Amino acid sequence: MKKFLVVLFILSSVRVFAIDFDHYFENRTLRIDCTHAGNATSDEYFIDELKAEPYWGGTHVNLIDTMAYGVYMVKVFDVATNTLIYSHGYCTLFDEWQATAEAKKTSRSFSETVVMPFPKKNVRVEFYTRNHKGTYDKKFDYVVDVKSYFISPERKLKFPVYDAYISGDPKNCVDIVILPEGYTAQEMDKFKADCQKFVQALFSFDPYTKNKTKFNIRCVLAPSPESGVDIPADNVWKRTMLNSNFYTFDSERYLMTCDNKSIRDMAANAPYDQIYILANSSKYGGGGIYNDYCLSVNSNTAAAKIFIHEFGHGFAGLADEYYDSSTSYNDFYQKDVEPWEPNLTTLVDFGRKWKGMLPAGTPIPTKPDESNPLRLGVFEGGGYVAKGVYRPAYDCLMDSFNGNEFCDVCKKSIQKMIDFYCR
């Protein structure tokens, strides 16, 4: 009986009640822009502005984020009943910046956005940050008066949309919006062709290939005044729509942008779950931030694999499995805390990672074997450090571009995310 009660308790504690979308939400987006500011050890939120956007690309079923990935979590409560009606985990450039040496010396502010389906009644929005123990601390809350006439419906960057690949209703699909960066008006056809290359690349890697009918890919035709992107160290500066630059955090290949508001204004032209920025450059670079945005170049020889790698970060919350590359981060992972990313472990709580997928008798750690790069194991080195963090395969697409496949752990994580969006 005791055993039965324990089982019953476990089942009831993990059960997530379905939220009736139509009862609580309209089929469009409430966007909250904040300033997130601080330094290596502290952070604070400030409300910037609220916007009403015309489309909601997300699921109508899985409104509570059961993955709990990401450094941040936003939770939305119906004020009248105190019911949790929406939650969403994500990361930002700010949290990466907090791990740089610069953050130990100074404070900086970053623009940050959370989106949710537009609530029918007033909601309390709570902002959480993951602490050093891996659990969430509430940092800020804000009550939204949904009838307020200050919620702006203004569309600052209204542009036509090109449908590169359409499968079905946004509520049942993963909706990717591709934004052009540094393509002039004369280069819009090139942008469309590059978007088709993206479509081809995405669907040539598993598990995307077999889930082709669950994706929509739309492209916003927004030309920039000048062609190319900024390369600060070479004194190259271009007037572009999204103000991206190489040398983010002084890392040459880290091509990103802090112009969050322009990204969101441009993305609002289409329903979206994921934002992908295609930059018009042949220089190697890019980046991807979980549930925020991904950015990569169009015409590097490795472009297809860069798309796929960065989208792994942005869409599925996958971590970098490499550790031999120079990055600007110090102690990105605490060795005594299990990372939230599904494809790394510190062995602190390996049971909730890929332990159950390991073939019987796999030694932990597993000896590297270059001849069988995708064999599942527990290989030391990953997440930018050589010791104390482990990855699931010797070499997967989240590590290097030598192979053509994700490891089984990454594949499974991507599939889980596709299913979450498409139920």
What is the DSSP secondary-structure string of 35-62? EEEE-SS-EEEEEEEEEEES---S-SS-
Contact status, residue 170 vs residue 152, Cβ threshold 8 Å: no
Which of positions 302-361 make contact with Zn ion (CB under 5 A)?
Answer: 343
Size of residue set near Zn ion by CB under 5 A: 5
How many Å apart are CA 78 and CA 89, to the nearest integer? 19
Q: What's the min distance (Å) between Cβ of 312 and Zn ion?
A: 8
Residue 355 CB neighbours (<10 A): 14
Q: Which of 305, 293, 312, 320 is nearest to 414 (CA)?
A: 312
Q: Tell me: does residue 398 bind Zn ion (CB under 5 A).
A: yes
Q: What's the min distance (Å) between Cβ of 358 and Zn ion?
A: 14
Question: CA 387 from chain center: how many Å?
Answer: 26
Nearer to Zn ion, 289 or 396 (CB): 396
Nearer to Zn ion, 63 or 410 (CB): 410
Q: Tell me: does residue 73 bind Zn ion (CB under 5 A).
A: no
Q: Tell me: does residue 376 bind Zn ion (CB under 5 A).
A: no
Among 396, 414, 417, 422, binds Zn ion (CB under 5 A): 396
Contact mark string toward Zn ion, 162..201, x via CB under 5 A: ----------------------------------------
Query: By CB under 5 A, which span of 75-83, 153-161, 211-219, 403-411 interacts with Zn ion?
Result: 403-411
Beta strands in 39-154 (DSSP E): 43-53, 72-78, 83-90, 108-119, 123-130, 136-144
How many Å apart are CA 57 and CA 28, to the nearest integer? 8
Q: What's the min distance (Å) between Cβ of 342 and Zn ion?
A: 9
Q: What's the min distance (Å) between Cβ of 271 and Zn ion?
A: 29
Query: By CB under 5 A, which span of 15-23, 78-86, 130-138, 391-399 interacts with Zn ion?
Result: 391-399
Nearer to Zn ion, 116 or 316 (CB): 316
Nearer to Zn ion, 272 or 406 (CB): 406
Return phi, psi of residue 295, to 5°.
-145, 135
Query: By CB under 5 A, which span of 104-112, 243-251, 300-308, 390-398 interacts with Zn ion?
Result: 390-398
What is the DSSP secondary-structure string of 232-279? GGGTB----SS--BS-GGG-TT--B---HHHHHHHHTTS--SEEEEEE
Q: What's the min distance (Å) between Cβ of 186 and Zn ion?
A: 40
How many Å apart are CA 293 and CA 98, to the nearest integer? 18
Q: What's the min distance (Å) between Cβ of 369 and Zn ion?
A: 16
What is the DSSP secondary-structure string of 303-340? HHHHHHHHHHHHHH-PPP---SS--SBSS-S-TTS--S
Contact status, residue 255 vs residue 297, Cβ threshold 8 Å: yes
Q: Tell me: does residue 410 bind Zn ion (CB under 5 A).
A: yes
Angle between helices 303-316 and 408-422 (to 10 degrees): 60
Name the residue number minimizing CB distance to Zn ion.
396
Nearer to Zn ion, 238 or 353 (CB): 353
Q: What's the min distance (Å) between Cβ of 202 and Zn ion?
A: 17
Q: What are the beta bridge partners of residue 84?
A: 77
Query: By CB under 5 A, which span of 22-30, 199-207, 308-316, 394-402 interacts with Zn ion?
Result: 394-402
Largest Cα–Cα separation, the chain: 73
Contact mark string toward Zn ion, 97..136, x via CB under 5 A: ----------------------------------------
Question: What amino acid is encoded at 317 in this protein?
Answer: G
Nearer to Zn ion, 238 or 391 (CB): 391
Nearer to Zn ion, 209 or 330 (CB): 209
Q: What's the min distance (Å) between Cβ of 374 and Zn ion?
A: 9
Nearer to Zn ion, 232 or 368 (CB): 368
Q: Tell me: does residue 414 bind Zn ion (CB under 5 A).
A: no
Among 103, 289, 344, 407, binds Zn ion (CB under 5 A): 407
Nearer to Zn ion, 242 or 407 (CB): 407
Contact status, residue 351 vs residue 364, Cβ threshold 8 Å: no
Question: CA 147 from chain center: how many Å?
Answer: 30
Contact status, residue 239 vs residue 156, Cβ threshold 8 Å: no
Q: What's the min distance (Å) between Cβ of 315 and Zn ion?
A: 14
Beta strands in 120-194 (DSSP E): 123-130, 136-144, 161-165, 174-181
Under the rule (CB under 5 A), what is the footprint of Zn ion?
A: 343, 396, 398, 407, 410
